[in-house]
Structure 1
């Protein structure tokens, strides 16, 4: 039975279980922690120690608990689940909010419906793999849904992808948001050469290899163009080996804002997403974006931009054509940038996201868990 009244915020403890400890997921969690702390909730975060996320949530005043979890499932899964269960017992949360596939797996195995649980995939696990592994991931997501009181998706497309995979759940969709004031900038960059910036972890998901495959065609159209890849990751060495002299790698950076401001165009050629943060941040900075047509992309763009800025995933030719078109038309870039900024300001402010997630929590107030109530894993 759900309580008709929201609980006193001072009596509510939220535990965020998070893996990974960096990138877009970490930025989403930091924003939620900030909003929830401001609302008077007790907030705890279980995440890998020594990460950007661990330091950031500690700076926000949240309790931090070391949870040594890797990105992938494997032989450490039992230990990782037991460690998370120990954190849950120590914190005594009113609600657990699990972020990403690994945290969703461990949290649901540890809790099995005993405490109200929100699972936020941040893109589905089965999209990152193929063959038998993908089949197993779909089977788990279908089975594990029974131990989530709410599955929280960041786009309607992400929800539809889950439904198409056979996941049956009580769904909420809350779009990602960004701090528009932080990313706001004044006017175009005024670069001496046309500059394309890609912000993202250097990994297969983000598709930087597709971008490098497209880049020679961009240079054929705009010979002075330069490409900057911002971030680091497991594919860094391979990508650097494939890049030419017009491509710069920054490595990991503490602040992406200067790179958005330096861009004429921001690109993210992902293979899969829920709703990527980088395009929202770029648009908040008044920059036009080119993105692949994966989950969340159409919902994040101004509707009038889809014909110019949306390309099929894993299509270097289409990507090169879109980038060349924008690089060759400064006035078009400036107009799209202004429209993009207004769009994010009206629809993707991080305060809207925080308020909507708070609404999900209120909706679960008084829920004692799903039908399958078992002791928390030891």
Structure 2
């Protein structure tokens, strides 16, 4: 049933710094669901692929020329947010990632219900004095957030241990299980990897090429993998500031695919998907890979255990920054198609039941309803997925 045209629709302003990868995909999925549920969605973000994608969905996109890190531009960025808020008059502001959370909370200061979603804490990305400053700000800024939304209980506890006293909500990441679904590797490999033998064991890593995602650790492990699985290939999907440095140290068996608009074909092409992150909140790439019925190997950082079904933990979870343990896990799974198929099926079932993006959107809608209270701009519920059984093939 559609809302009466006389009842104002709730208007949410998403504030977004330069992002790509998982945060961009999560926001795109959330925007799609919110528009379908009848919200007016405005997004203030820098120009680029995300702005174009949100605009194509029907969101009202406002240019916000922000940078990733605090600096001399912070003052003008905060003033620009304040002007945008005055123009848009949102019922609720939802700020994504550290810089947008900083600028948004300084601009609004709690005058409008504000949701802050760190998508992994900023103080994990830096050391020393910079980390102390980031922790200090998050402790102070929490007073101006009606909710701090974490994507895992581990991420929330990380904030608590850092001294952040907030009104918390934990909403696990979700993925579009219709878009990320299984298909035979043979259907996509020839197009993606011409000239690579069809039976070559293939590992795929999807993520921004940066210190957080740990591709350097994977490259350090890769020679050990090759010694046990000759002929294996590794594809790094994504771009980022570390590309040149990683390429300089990579052997010929490592291919760089660059940034891609859709990672799903690469998951389907893989025998195994690896994400060796140094820190996360809850990474999307492993969820997307499991939705495609591909087994994963991930590092035991925030959100990793919560994102895996228990049966996968002994095979698929390794300590962070441990190339030897990573190599052992990869080399054990690559030559064993039966185990990989079994783990892939269990991963798919887990994501369908626990991490469908519609559940994520419904949980955000519940947070919004709680914050808007008796406002005439009431947020109607988002339909959650119904349970269903399905057959899966690799």
TM-score scaled to structure 2, two decimals? 0.89
Matched-pair contact (CA < 8 Å) for 1:155–1:175 = yes
In structure 2, the residue corresponding to 1:45 is in which secondary structure?
Answer: strand
Matched-pair contact (CA < 8 Å) for 2:95–2:104 = yes
1:1-378 aligned at under 5 Å gives the runs: 10-49=8-47, 51-187=48-184, 191-366=198-373
Tell me how far 1:10 sits from its aligned partner.
Answer: 3.8
User: Distance in 2 between the 1:55 and 1:22 partners?
Assistant: 13
Matched-pair contact (CA < 8 Å) for 1:20–1:26 = no
Tell me how far 1:237 sits from its aligned partner.
Answer: 0.5
Structure 1 residues 352 and 256 mapped into 2: Cα distance closer, same or farther (>3 Å)? same
User: Distance in 2 between the 1:299 and 1:145 partners?
Assistant: 25
Count of residue correspondences: 360
Tell me how far 1:229 sits from its aligned partner.
Answer: 0.1
User: Distance in 2 between the 1:52 and 1:299 partners?
Assistant: 30
TM-score scaled to structure 1, two decimals? 0.93
Tell me how far 1:20 sits from its aligned partner.
Answer: 2.5
User: Distance in 2 between the 1:317 and 1:21 partners?
Assistant: 31
List gaps (5 residues or longer) in structure 1.
Answer: 1-7, 369-378
Matched-pair contact (CA < 8 Å) for 2:95–2:101 = yes
Tell me how far 1:187 sits from its aligned partner.
Answer: 4.6
**Equivalence for 1:373:** none
Matched-pair contact (CA < 8 Å) for 2:9–2:38 = no
User: Distance in 2 between the 1:336 and 1:48 partners?
Assistant: 39
**Equivalence for 1:5:** none
Q: Which has the higher contact order (CA 8 A, sep 6+)?
A: 1
Tell me how far 1:166 sits from its aligned partner.
Answer: 0.4
Tell me how far 1:75 sits from its aligned partner.
Answer: 1.0
Q: Which deviates the most, 277-286 or 13-22? A: 13-22
User: Distance in 1 between the 2:156 and 2:73 partners?
Assistant: 29
User: Distance in 2 between the 1:271 and 1:108 partners?
Assistant: 27
Tell me how far 1:245 sits from its aligned partner.
Answer: 0.2
Tell me how far 1:287 sits from its aligned partner.
Answer: 0.2
| TM-superposition CA deviations, 1:1-26 (whole Å, max 9, x none) | xxxxxxx9743100000112321111
Matched-pair contact (CA < 8 Å) for 1:198–1:229 = yes
User: Distance in 1 between the 2:161 and 2:184 partners?
Assistant: 42
RMSD after superposition: 1.3
User: Distance in 2 between the 1:24 and 1:165 partners?
Assistant: 24
Q: Which deviates the most, 104-113 or 81-90? A: 81-90
Matched-pair contact (CA < 8 Å) for 2:209–2:239 = yes
